[in-house]
Structure 1
Amino acid sequence: MRILLVEDNARLRELVSEAIHEAGWRIDALATAEEGRLALASASYDLLLLDLGLPDEDGLSLLKSLRIQKFQLPVLILTARGAIDERIAGLDAGADDYLAKPFNNGELIARVRALMRSAPSTVMPILEFASLEFELASRQVRCNNREVPLMPSEKALLELLMRDGGKVVSKRRIENAVSEFGDERSANAIELAVSRLRKKLEAQPAGVRIETVRGVGYMLREISP
């Protein structure tokens, strides 16, 4: 899962990013509404964490414009504006939830998970392919009910391959899925990530194989036992 955070406080961006990474998700943390717009236009996100007090534009204005443009991703507002009328304004503008500052990171992660569970059009609660199960909320991967230990980047790669199981996933989509802004991956890095994940899956009785489609990308294929 890839999350976009738009928050002008540098320290809070750092703390929230750490919490999101520890939960096993990827995050792009930006400081202005304009940067947020550009990010949403260039990458695919599963959730937006949005501060209202942005330096270049009020967060409510940004949210309203995104909803007018039919952006359907869940939005969780993070703000020091705790008055009930301001919460109502945020929800009416198109937010799905509201978390007042200061907040506990545990509550933040719990609210993110709740939003993901309530957004079946964006994220399925569990991906299944052959003997693999990927519980998206907890980021747990299991094979025949036994957990498969994977690094966060490997989970991001596997999630993409499982979502399109049996279909070719282009290298460009993989680069977008496993990278964050400021951390773009080279072609060699993607190949190494695929190689590591392939070896870990081959060590499991998962009944799957990652195949290389030369010049195009990769495919997760079900194989006979």
Structure 2
Amino acid sequence: MRLLLIEDETALRHSLKKQLEADGYRVDEAADGEDGLFQANEYPVDLAIVDLGLPKLSGLSVVEKLRANGKTLPILILTARGSWQDKVKGLEAGADDYLVKPFEYPELVARVKALLRRSLKAASDTLVLGPISLDFSAQQAKVDGVSVDLTTFEYRMLEYLVRERARVVSKQELSDYLYPHDEDRDSNVLEVLIGRLRRKLDPDGSLAPIETLRGRGYRFVIEPA
């Protein structure tokens, strides 16, 4: 999963980024509201963690603008303000949950996992789609109960296609999701990864879980039972 962390406190931002990445998340960061809003609008993000007290553009404005732009990603707001009015304002702006500073990291990651489960419409950390199952906590895929040996990139690709399975995902979007935003990418590498993922999930070609739509992109076609 790819997270966007918008937090102006440098020490806290670096600490959360390090802990989240140790737990297997890909984390992009922004130190102010303007940069955070730009990244959330321009690149694929699974969830945003937004501090309310941001420079240049407040966290509340970031949330409002993202929702006004039609962005439906889960948003967890962080606030040093303890009043119920501030929490209500954040939720009414479109945030999905809030956490009051100071907080312990286990509580933050628990809320992140809950919001991601909700966005995936999964009741637990495991989502079953026909013979394929994904364990989001372990970052593990299985086919007919047998673990599939996926690289980090292959798993992230599969997880994103599963999350966005209601629509076609373009090559550009998938590339933006997998790679750092300032890194040059070769589209042929993406095609190789898709081919390799297909062979691992469906070695005999009977399942065909990933559909290619020429000139448009890819779509995961198996729905939960």
Question: Is the structural similarity TM-score above 0.5?
Answer: yes
For residues 218 and 95 of structure 1, what CA distance do their matches in structure 2 show? 30
Query: How big is the alpha-carbon RMSD for the aligned residues of Structure 1 and Structure 2?
Result: 3.5
1:8 is matched with 8
Change (3 A) 1:211 1:58: closer
Percent identity, please.
38
Q: Displacement of 1:25 after TM fit?
A: 2.7
SS of aligned partner of 2:49: strand
Q: TM-score normalised to the size of structure 1?
A: 0.75
Amino acid corresponding to residue 90 of structure 1 in structure 2? G
Distance 2:5 2:184 in 1: 18
Specify the alignment match of 1:81 in structure 2. 81
How has the CA–CA distance of structure 1 residues 160 and 65 changed in structure 2, closer, same or farther, with 3 Å as cutoff? closer
Q: What does the per-residue CA deviation read over 1:5-50, in whole Å, with 9 as the maximum and x for residues that have no partner? A: 1111233222222233233332221112111221122123221110
Q: Which residue of 2 aligns with 1:104?
A: 104
Q: Which residue of 2 aligns with 1:146?
A: 146
1:95-128 deviation per Cα after TM superposition (whole angstroms, max 9, x unaligned): 2111122322222111011112233xxx242555
State the SS of the aligned residue for 2:37: helix
C-alpha spacing 1:98/1:192, structure 2 compared with 1 (3 Å): same
Paired residue for 2:21?
A: 21
Give the 5 Å matches for 1:166-177.
170-177=170-177
For residue 157 of structure 1, what is the amino acid of its counterpart?
M
Query: What is the aligned partner in structure 2 of residue 134 from structure 1?
Result: 134
After superposition, the Cα gap between the structure-2 partners of 1:11 and 1:182, relative to the gap in structure 1 and judged at 3 Å, is farther
Q: Secondary structure at the match of 1:175?
A: helix
Q: What TM-score comes out, normalization by structure 2 length?
A: 0.75
Matches for 1:1-80 after TM superposition, within 5 Å = 1-80=1-80
- Rounded Cα–Cα distance in structure 1 between residues aligned with 2:206 and 2:135: 16
Q: Which shifted more, 212-221 or 126-135?
A: 212-221
In structure 1, list runs of 5 or more residues that go unmatched.
Answer: none
Instruction: Tell me the number of residue pairs that the alignment of Structure 1 and Structure 2 aligns.
Output: 219
Paired amino acid for 1:76: L
| Structure 1 counterpart of 2:99, one-letter code | L
Once the two structures are overlaid, the 10-residue window that deviates more, 188-197 or 73-82, is: 188-197
Deviation, structure 1 residue 212: 8.1
Partner deviation per Cα, 1:48-95 (whole Å, 9 max, x = no partner):
110112111221122223333343222101232233332233223322
CA contact (8 A) 1:77 1:90 kept: yes
Q: Which runs of 5+ in 2 are unaligned?
A: none
Please give the alpha-carbon distance, in whole angstroms, between the structure 2 residues aligned to 1:48 and 1:200.
31
- Structure 2 counterpart SS, 1:150: coil
Query: Structure 2 CA distance, aligned partners of 1:219 and 1:37?
Result: 27
Q: Is the Cα contact below 8 Å between 1:9 and 1:31 reproduced in 2?
A: yes
Structure 1 residues 34 and 220: CA distance shift in structure 2, 3 A: closer
State the SS of the aligned residue for 2:77.
strand
One-letter code aligned to 2:105: N
> Could you tell me how far apart the structure 1 residues matched to 2:191 and 2:173 are?
13
